């Protein structure tokens, strides 16, 4: 599935367009009526949204309008929220969101947090017009789609950082040395491979809306430790 998305010549280059493209592919893979994505900052503020169709975007927006729903719960708990029948206890769990979504034809909803380690980037929501759980294969596909979205977000963060370094003429040997030093420190703090340490730093930068070199400087200066932030 990653290759299919990466090799698609029609995939948009802008982030919102790319996320919408991935949502449409996910809806087909999961036999869903719609898929939506909300990109959020660390405090839960939504910074970007995308959906497979206008109706899905409406269901996504509704959660932030009423202040409740599977998206917000998945973001807060860092765990998937899987509601196979929206007419069940979800009506009391989300007394504003669930009845409104049900009235518009949604019968099941599944929310998957977008995260790397302790850094939360947002949530992917899957909407269905029929009640029933995801199959094991569909659940695996949903988790894969969530990973693909995370990769897209981190790639955009990396590109922004590189552009910033180029524009300001500060992507110097000293900056790279500091970045690699921070990467090694995070590796030791969490006991993870170097590549994952960099991914954790990029995710933290995205979630906090900061540049990667700022995160690296804080790690090297010991004002930021990743082992204290681990879930």
Q: Residue 130 corresponds to which tokens in the numbers above?
A: 């029929």
pLDDT of residue 169: 38
Q: Residue 148 corresponds to which tokens in the numbers above?
A: 């693909």
Structural domains for the chain:
2-152 (3.30.450.40), 172-220 (1.10.10)
Determine contact, residues 124/112, Cβ cutoff 8 Å.
yes
pLDDT of residue 172: 45
Helix axes 194-208, 136-168, angle to 10 degrees: 80
pLDDT of residue 83: 96
The mean per-residue pLDDT over the stretch 54-77 comes to 93
Can you tell me the distance from the alpha carbon of 42 to that of 34, in angstroms, rounded to the nearest whole number? 26
Can you tell me the distance from the alpha carbon of 138 to that of 144, in angstroms, rounded to the nearest whole number? 10
Determine contact, residues 90/69, Cβ cutoff 8 Å.
no
Mean model confidence pLDDT for the chain: 84
The mean per-residue pLDDT over the stretch 33-40 comes to 94
| Residue pLDDT, tens place only, 70-126 | 999 999 999 999 999 999 888 999 999 999 999 999 999 999 999 987 788 999 999
Please, which pLDDT band fits residue 1 given cuts at 50, 70 and 90?
A: low
- Beta strand 119-128 pairing with 81-83: unpaired
pLDDT of residue 71: 97
Q: How much helix, strand and coil, in percent to the nearest 5, is found in the chain?
A: 55, 15, 30
| Residue pLDDT, tens place only, 142-170 | 999 999 998 888 876 655 544 444 343 34
pTM of the model: 0.71
Lowest mean pLDDT among 12-21, 107-116, 137-146: 12-21
pLDDT at 3 over 70: no
């Amino acid at each position: 599935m990653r290759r299919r998305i990466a090799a698609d010549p029609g995939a948009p280059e802008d982030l919102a367009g790319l996320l919408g493209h991935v949502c449409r592919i996910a809806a087909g893979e999961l036999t869903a009526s719609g898929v939506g994505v909300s990109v959020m900052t660390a405090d839960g503020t939504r910074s970007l949204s995308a959906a497979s169709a206008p109706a899905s975007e409406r269901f996504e927006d509704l959660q932030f309008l009423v202040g409740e729903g599977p998206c917000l719960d998945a973001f807060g708990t860092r765990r998937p929220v899987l509601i196979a029948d929206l007419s069940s206890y979800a009506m009391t769990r989300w007394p504003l969101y669930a009845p409104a979504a049900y009235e518009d034809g949604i019968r099941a909803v599944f929310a998957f947090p977008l995260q790397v380690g302790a850094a939360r980037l947002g949530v992917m929501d899957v909407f269905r017009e029929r009640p029933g759980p995801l199959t094991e294969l569909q659940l695996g596909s949903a988790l894969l789609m969530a990973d693909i979205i995370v990769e897209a977000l981190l790639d955009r963060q990396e590109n922004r950082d590189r552009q910033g370094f180029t524009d300001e003429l500060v992507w110097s040997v000293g900056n790279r040395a500091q970045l690699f030093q921070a990467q090694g420190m995070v590796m030791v703090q969490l006991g993870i491979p170097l590549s994952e340490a960099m991914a954790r730093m990029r995710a933290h930068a995205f979630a906090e809306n900061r540049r990667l070199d700022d995160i690296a400087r804080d790690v090297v200066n010991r004002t930021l430790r990743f082992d204290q932030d681990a879930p």
